[in-house]
Structure 1
Amino acid sequence: MFLKHLRPLPYRKMSFLVFILTSALCVTCLPADIDKGRRKVVHVLEDDTGAVIVQTAPGKVVTHRGGSITLPCRYHHEPENTDPDRIRIKWTKVTDALQFEDVFVALGREQRVFGSYKGRVFLEQAGPGDASVIIQNVTLEDYGRFECEVTNDMEDDTGFVNLDLEGVVFPYYPREGRYKLNYHQGEDACKQQDAILASHSQLHKAWLEGLDWCNAGWLEDGSVQYPISHPRDQCGRKDNPAGVRNYGYRHKEDERYDAFCFTSKLNGKVYFLKRFKKVNYAEAVKACIREGSVVAKVGQLYAAWKFQLLDRCEAGWLEDGSIRYPIVNPRSRCGGSQPGVRHLGFPDKKFRLYGVYCFQKNKEETAGGTVTTKSPTYSLTKSKSSNSMATNATRGI
């Protein structure tokens, strides 16, 4: 009966009422994808437990192999009345999109360091709210992204720090020839040459510095790419723009390519062993041992070229059986107009005679040592022909 006595609202008033009700109901009904791709951290204050706010350094922190670096991370509470003995600090290394490696954890005065980080990672402890850690004797494997997580009872927050290394990228293929390495073999090949598989950002930086290489190689994320500074028909067409060409993510077991390796500053020195006569590979190994050294690896020669500014216009044996020599100051009689590490291929170990590059490890590390001299940039040019071993075809490598 009550409804019968209600007067119908005018059309405009009815529309306005519907708009108000709809708006009230949809205050929280924003499009689901409005924040798509963003990381949202929601802090909830409940009872006496305060939210934890973590702050880390923007960008990245940079060091070199063998150096020490602080990964900055600070935190505070809302409200700021939390017992510090109830705060847990945890650092992890992001090894893949959904994989993490434990590095360090502290709860009050109790601390624990994991795996290869034992004896190298320490809490900075630079006052209240400091969750920063110091990594000493940085290794190539330390390169990458670290997560700092601070937990207070049921509340937690995280931040990320990117650790970058000064170094050099170089392409690598074995004695067996081009495109012989699946992902795992490429990873092992780089390790055997005192290096790791390069990241995309490392390869991109090398390209900006002039790296030009016409053969595709594995990167650490499982993708296959190659850098082109001088477009040409045999390297993806001449009319294509310069850049880092990307084949995408490939099958790690079945597909085979070369590898792009990354290495950093040495904990020793590379030198060309002066001898009265040239030697074969076996004699080269013995010669370095008599000097208290070993035959240098490919990555060590590249690091010496980059940081030690090793410049030698004499071809010599390396540990993998290849013949190379480093050029910082190009001259016509030393393989062309560009700086780089020249590669003469893999000759017969028994009958071919060359000099040898030896590596001698430092007896004592010098803490905090840096190189202030500007490092050379380089241009590496190579055709896709797998049988080209001449100096001019391997200019810059």
Structure 2
Amino acid sequence: MLCTQFFGLAAVTCMVRALALPVSSHITDTEKGRRKVVHVLEDESGAVIVQTAPGKVVTHRGGFITLPCRYHHEPESSDPARIRIKWTKVTDAFQFVDVFVALGRQQRTFGAYRGRVLLEDDGPGDASVIIQNITLQDYGRYECEVTNDMEDDTGFVNLDLEGVVFPYHPRLGRYKLNYHQAQEVCQQQDAILASHGQLHKAWIEGLDWCNAGWLEDGSVQYPISHPRDQCGRKDAPAGVRNYGYRHKVDERYDAFCFTSNLNGRVYFLKRFKKVSYSEAAKACQRDGSVVAKVGQLYAAWRVQLLDRCEAGWLEDGSIRYPIVNPRARCGGPEPGVRNLGFPDKKFRLYGVYCFRKNKESAAMPPTQQPNKAISTIATNGTRNL
């Protein structure tokens, strides 16, 4: 239930409703109807202040989502054509990226949001927007601002994505990437640099990794579920270890990448013999596909529950395989994507994981039920990698 109080004339209040849906849960009727309570207070100067409880809305790449925002203005006879609604995205660096603006019947979207954002317009006082064909870059915090002549107020919505965090380093070895290179390698593997919140959530779900990596905000961190001397000290508490904000050009670490739902399918190409990297690429091409990227394999493991106890080439030249149901002969007692490193592309022979993109990239309806969630542990059978 939304609880509101209104003070004074020509005051505009923006009320944010947020659904807090964990990645591993099905969306129930109760959760669909849950709304965050918004308290509107008046300070000594008579100004109206909006306070919203923290929350988030959750979707996945390729889906669509409503960022909820409502407002009330007095007197009720105010001209709706003079109400200005503006949505912006707020980055960790406190920079504002224009998303959408509406004044009466006039509407405009900006940048990467063009053609994907529209006003929900569900009756008087609705400033909610719908974002279609969600991308990885849409993740983050959004500001809803409503202006009536000289009065304005704002509310915030956090957009979260279902997905998986995975550590990454290139063929050159560990601790070879500055911040900008880390951004690039994640993008090359169909991912983005993970946020602190995404890494923390992955740690809660079991991610344990002993090598520090860049995050989206320019900090360097790593998650430890099982403290040990080679990873900071055995007597130190478990948690996400934080090196703080590092020099983005001069310092080098690994990367923690984040990816979400696939617009396609990853599969192990069945062949009678194992092949070199170049032969693997040709085999996928003949099958109407391409060699899968690392992020695509992780997404397939997490979303499609891909389970295959056969090592295969990936696009970056690494050899990996996904395990949902652990068994002794498949690399250890925990689920994860096993990593066998970067062998010689010409002379080492393996299978191959291919990726075939969907013909149509239609967004799935919000009633789409999430697949069974599994741990986001990324491992090759050992915890100290």
When normalised by structure 1's length, the TM-score is 0.83
Question: Could you tell me how far 1:365 is from its partner in structure 2?
Answer: 3.5
Give the aligned partner of residue 52 of structure 1: 12
Q: Distance in 2 between matches of 1:370 and 1:177?
A: 40
Q: Distance in 1 between matches of 2:330 and 2:318?
A: 17
The verdict on how the C-alpha distance between 1:188 and 1:321 changes in structure 2, with shifts beyond 3 A counting, is same
Q: Distance in 2 between matches of 1:249 and 1:158?
A: 30
The structure whose RCO (Cα within 8 Å, separation 6+) is larger is: 2
Residue of 120, 127, 143 corresponding to 2:123? 127
Q: Which runs of 4+ in 1 moved over 6 A?
A: none
Q: Distance in 2 between matches of 1:85 and 1:219?
A: 43
Answer yes or no: is the 8 Å Cα contact 2:167–2:378 preserved in 1: no
* Alignment RMSD (CA, Å): 1.6
> Which AA in structure 2 matches 1:374?
K
Q: Give SS of 2:211's match.
A: coil
Residue of 146, 151, 154 corresponding to 1:155? 151
Give the aligned partner of residue 375 of structure 1: 373
Q: Give SS of 2:185's match.
A: helix
Q: Give SS of 2:81's match.
A: helix
Question: Could you tell me how far 1:78 is from its partner in structure 2?
Answer: 2.8
Q: Distance in 2 between matches of 1:184 and 1:82?
A: 49
Answer yes or no: is the 8 Å Cα contact 1:343–1:394 preserved in 2: no
> Which AA in structure 1 matches 2:162?
E
> Which AA in structure 2 matches 1:180?
K
Q: How does 1:11-26 map to 2 (within 5 A)?
A: none
Give the aligned partner of residue 385 of structure 1: none
Give the aligned partner of residue 66 of structure 2: 70
Give the aligned partner of residue 293 of structure 2: 297
The verdict on how the C-alpha distance between 1:380 and 1:294 changes in structure 2, with shifts beyond 3 A counting, is closer
Q: Distance in 1 between matches of 2:99 and 2:310?
A: 44
> Which AA in structure 2 matches 1:201?
G
Give the aligned partner of residue 227 of structure 1: 223
Tell me the number of residue pairs that the alignment of Structure 1 and Structure 2 aligns.
342
Q: Distance in 2 between matches of 1:244 and 1:98?
A: 23
Residue of 236, 241, 247 corresponding to 1:245? 241
2:118 is the counterpart of 1:110 = no
Answer yes or no: is the 8 Å Cα contact 2:210–2:383 preserved in 1: no
Q: Distance in 2 between matches of 1:117 and 1:107?
A: 18
Q: Distance in 2 between matches of 1:281 and 1:394?
A: 28
Give the aligned partner of residue 218 of structure 1: 214
Answer yes or no: is the 8 Å Cα contact 2:14–2:69 preserved in 1: yes
For 1:295-324, what per-residue CA distance to the aligned partner results, in whole angstroms no more than 9, with x for missing partners? Answer: 000000000000100000000000011000
Q: Distance in 1 between matches of 2:92 and 2:241?
A: 22
Q: Distance in 2 between matches of 1:103 and 1:95?
A: 13
Residue of 341, 345, 350 corresponding to 2:346? 350
Question: Could you tell me how far 1:118 is from its partner in structure 2?
Answer: 1.0
2:311 is the counterpart of 1:315 = yes
For 1:190-227, what per-residue CA distance to the aligned partner results, in whole angstroms no more than 9, with x for missing partners? Answer: 11100011111111110011100000000111110000
Work out the percentage of aligned pairs sharing the same amino acid.
79
Question: Could you tell me how far 1:378 is from its partner in structure 2?
Answer: 4.2
Q: Distance in 2 between matches of 1:266 and 1:380?
A: 18
Q: Give SS of 1:82's match.
A: coil
When normalised by structure 2's length, the TM-score is 0.86
The verdict on how the C-alpha distance between 1:394 and 1:356 changes in structure 2, with shifts beyond 3 A counting, is farther
Q: Higher Cα Rg: structure 1 or 2?
A: 1
2:330 is the counterpart of 1:328 = no
Q: Give SS of 1:96's match.
A: coil
For 1:110-151, what per-residue CA distance to the aligned partner results, in whole angstroms no more than 9, with x for missing partners? Answer: 110111111110000100110000001111000000000011
Q: Give SS of 2:91's match.
A: strand
Answer yes or no: is the 8 Å Cα contact 2:221–2:243 preserved in 1: yes
Q: Give SS of 2:329's match.
A: helix
Question: Could you tell me how far 1:268 is from its partner in structure 2?
Answer: 0.6
> Which AA in structure 2 matches 1:153?
D
Give the aligned partner of residue 43 of structure 2: none
Answer yes or no: is the 8 Å Cα contact 1:307–1:371 preserved in 2: no
Q: Distance in 1 between matches of 2:95 and 2:270?
A: 49
> Which AA in structure 2 matches 1:55?
M
> Which AA in structure 1 matches 2:62?
G
Question: Could you tell me how far 1:96 is from its partner in structure 2?
Answer: 3.1
Q: Distance in 1 between matches of 2:150 and 2:345?
A: 64
> Which AA in structure 2 matches 1:375?
A
Question: Could you tell me how far 1:82 is from its partner in structure 2?
Answer: 1.1
The verdict on how the C-alpha distance between 1:214 and 1:293 changes in structure 2, with shifts beyond 3 A counting, is same
Gaps of 5+ in 1: 1-42, 382-390
Q: Distance in 2 between matches of 1:113 and 1:228?
A: 42
Give the aligned partner of residue 29 of structure 2: none
For 1:256-311, what per-residue CA distance to the aligned partner results, in whole angstroms no more than 9, with x for missing partners? Answer: 00000000010111000011111111111111111111100000000000010000
Give the aligned partner of residue 362 of structure 1: 358
Give the aligned partner of residue 79 of structure 1: 75
> Which AA in structure 1 matches 2:368?
T
2:256 is the counterpart of 1:260 = yes
Q: Greater shift after overlay, 58-67 or 360-369?
A: 360-369
Answer yes or no: is the 8 Å Cα contact 1:50–1:80 preserved in 2: no
Q: Distance in 2 between matches of 1:80 and 1:97?
A: 38
Question: Could you tell me how far 1:83 is from its partner in structure 2?
Answer: 0.3
The verdict on how the C-alpha distance between 1:53 and 1:198 changes in structure 2, with shifts beyond 3 A counting, is same
